[in-house]
A and B are shown apart, each in its own frame.
Chain A
Amino acid sequence: AAGVIQSPRHLIKEKRETATLKCYPIPRHDTVYWYQQGPGQDPQFLISFYEKMQSDKGSIPDRFSAQQFSDYHSELNMSSLELGDSALYFCASSVQGAVGANVLTFGAGSRLTVL
């Protein structure tokens, strides 16, 4: 079965640079979620999109932005990178309004290292 695809899997950037992470949801999934997980921490919800519109916002820094495109893939853009942005970034997808509960499926994550 198709899973959530994230790219790149690993990314190394310098401070003050920009980075873009991509997420390709499971086919026919209409909702995408982004999470940040720092070393030794639990996943923190950043932002979600439903049908290409931002649907909810968590602890996403102002330096970060995201969008969902017409093919439902999503991109997380991070600017003015700081050392503290070094983390695993997970994307998840789901189907809204599915019969029963809305189960999220997570990707394998993108590891960002800021030097």
Chain B
Amino acid sequence: DAKTTQPPSMDCAEGRAANLPCNHSTISGNEYVYWYRQIHSQGPQYIIHGLKNNETNEMASLIITEDRKSSTLILPHATLRDTAVYYCIVRYYTGNQFYFGTGTSLTVIP
């Protein structure tokens, strides 16, 4: 599975959009991009995933560049409850491994 690189930490003002980047320059054609988050010691929570098209759900939007070498998770209106570690993961959809890298610790500031 492709390796991902994320900034270790970010701050975002409450009510503003949080844009979390992820580089996955070695991604292959069959690998999906997944985003999860973990709020202090809770089980990781699924946010969104995509293959090549941009995706949106009730939680967030996922923007994948045309060459698929990077992506951005967008939380449109960050709240204090969005403070968490966000993980970008790339894997084959049929794979039985799912490796967490070092995610981004997002702090939403009042």
Q: Footprint of B on A, CB under 8 Å?
A: 4, 31, 33, 35, 42-45, 48, 50, 55-56, 58, 88, 90, 92, 96-97, 100-109
> When A42-B101, A92-B98 are in contact, do A109 and B41 touch as well, CB less than 8 Å?
yes
- List B contacts of A58 (CB < 8 A): 97, 99
- List B contacts of A100 (CB < 8 A): 93
Q: Footprint of A on B, CB under 8 Å?
A: 32, 34, 38, 41-46, 49, 51, 85, 87, 93-103
Interface of B is mostly: loop
Report yes or no: B34 in contact with A101, Cβ–Cβ below 8 A.
Answer: yes
* Shortest beta-carbon contacts, A-B, top 9: A106-B43, A55-B96, A56-B96, A101-B32, A101-B93, A48-B96, A43-B100, A56-B97, A42-B100
Distance A102 CA – B32 CA, assembled complex (angstroms): 9
- List B contacts of A109 (CB < 8 A): 41-43
Residue in A31, A48, A88, A103 whose CB lies within 8 Å of B41: A88
Looking at A48, A50, A103, the one whose CB has the most chain B CB atoms below 10 A away is A103
> When A56-B97, A106-B44 are in contact, do A42 and B49 touch as well, CB less than 8 Å?
no
Residue in A4, A50, A101 whose CB lies within 8 Å of B49: A101
Report yes or no: B49 in contact with A107, Cβ–Cβ below 8 A.
Answer: no
Report yes or no: B93 in contact with A90, Cβ–Cβ below 8 A.
Answer: no
Report yes or no: A103 in contact with B99, Cβ–Cβ below 8 A.
Answer: no
- List B contacts of A50 (CB < 8 A): 96
Give the Cβ gap from B3 to chain A, nearest Cβ, in Å.
Answer: 14
Report yes or no: A45 in contact with B99, Cβ–Cβ below 8 A.
Answer: yes
Report yes or no: B51 in contact with A42, Cβ–Cβ below 8 A.
Answer: no
17 contacts between A and B (CB under 8 A): A4-B43, A35-B100, A42-B100, A43-B38, A45-B97, A48-B96, A55-B96, A92-B44, A96-B94, A97-B94, A100-B93, A101-B49, A102-B95, A103-B46, A104-B98, A106-B45, A108-B42
